[in-house]
Structure 1
């Protein structure tokens, strides 16, 4: 039987931005069907890593394989590959002059030739999947923060991508809305057979739904393993991050951080 390739595989990856190296020596294998939490302090390069996975940022060194093959170099082929990658942005990215249903329909109208009745049915199914079927005709300004995040999630799922990337999905949400989003991510990952990478600095909310955890700090991966192993680690750097301590191996120097992650 032929082995199934990992959905994401990085080897010797170095990522540069603004003339400086943000991440270096990154080796990562993400199994299909898993939920991987990518944790780390702000500015550590977590969002830069996501940019490499979507092809937005080309590696300075090393290789990036997504969906079983290296990311293509041509723009047309890269856009085709991106159809298999759903991305939930920090700011939702909803168009304010379109309803929730119209926002979710955008990818379907742009990338398929499906007739309008089929698109309407698919949009209804996506809204139902995130528990917002009755919000189809509401505009973004009429949605709460948690509702807007779920509409953005439904839009990210519109083309049924096998890989989902979540960039700080809990930003700006109250504790209840954050709990709803994390529960929804876990349920959708299981029911739809997805693979998910969750970039976050919300450790307490993210680790319970994750199968695997990475911690990025000081330009490298400083931990890779299970959430239980992370929480049990005696490593001073990891203890500082998990406990939110201001002093330790992770320096707090806001002026030196030019990449928000």
Structure 2
């Protein structure tokens, strides 16, 4: 992949689950080095889009390309591709019986044959990158919500993936911790030369760190542009989403949302 090749390219994508269309006609690109926000109300299909990027969900139509190549369907090449993708899950996914350092070392021990001394050094580097070098001997139960999220981020970065996917990274965090996480995501993206996708419904915390914003609603992509263009939009649907009002083009009732999709 050259530096001019988009890290992500989606074309005419349609995603289905259980025979029901979740997203349709999604076309977008994420340039190398960019931070893209995928915004939308709960249940709109944001996490489904992530599943297509990781190869967990095969599109019903359209194409998904990562690093200039179609996402493979065969098990072995898909497994190799996933080594280039770091994922920060909503629930952190930390193993409670392992220390912070052992959690971060886990992907290094599973996917490499590096000696223990080098793994220990890499763990220190990752912890230092998220500002938690002194927490290596703590267990997940001893961490605050913001600390646990940063440990999960360090583990997602363990294999130095060029692409990072964040699934609702601010869930359960207070405003201060949320600000720390979003600032960290932007700083790591720039310092490590990553490409990042942030799936979120926390609009006002996410937009300031992003280069482009996408809004998913009613089964499709309803906006693609810069954060400034999104905030300046007079579209009734976008205004409803940004202001958080219950009445408007986006149905509040989940059953109505499902029928609309």
Give the TM interval when normalised to the shorter protein.
over 0.9
Q: Deviations over 1:178-199 (max 9, x none)?
A: 0000000010011001110000
User: How far apart are residue 125 of structure 1 and its match?
Assistant: 0.2
Deviation at 1:255, TM superposition (A): 3.5
Q: Which runs of structure 2 are paired with 1:149-164 in the superposition (5 Å)? A: 149-164=149-164
For normalisation by structure 1, the TM-score amounts to 0.97
1:69 maps to which residue? 69
Shift of 1:253: 1.3
1:90-124 Cα distance to aligned partner (Å, 9 max, x none):
00000111001000001100111100000000000
* Distance across 1 between alignment mates of 2:238 and 2:92: 30
Alpha-carbon distance in 2 for matches of 1:81, 1:67: 10
Match of 1:220 in 2: 220
Give the structure-2-normalised TM-score: 0.97
The equivalent of 1:194 in structure 2 is: 194
Secondary structure at the aligned position of 1:97 is classed as: coil
After TM superposition, give the deviation of residue 3 of structure 1 in Å.
7.0
Q: CA deviation at 1:153?
A: 0.1
Aligned to 2:96: 96
Correspondence for 2:248:
248
Matches within 5 A, 1:130-169: 130-169=130-169
**Structure 2 runs not aligned, ≥5 long:** none
2:52 paired with 1:30: no
Question: Aligned residues, how many?
Answer: 257
Q: CA deviation at 1:19?
A: 1.9
- Report the secondary structure of 2:117's partner residue: helix
3-state SS of paired residue (2:214): strand
For structure 1, the 5+ residue unaligned runs are none
Evaluate the alpha carbon distance shift between residue 38 and residue 113 of structure 1 in structure 2; reply closer, same or farther with a 3 A threshold. same
CA distance in 2, matches of 1:18, 1:91: 25
Runs of 4 or more, structure 1, over 6 Å off, are none
Counterpart secondary structure, 2:185:
helix
**Please, what is the CA RMSD of the aligned residues?**
1.1
Q: Distance in 2 between matches of 1:177 and 1:19?
A: 39
Q: Which residue of 2 aligns with 1:40?
A: 40
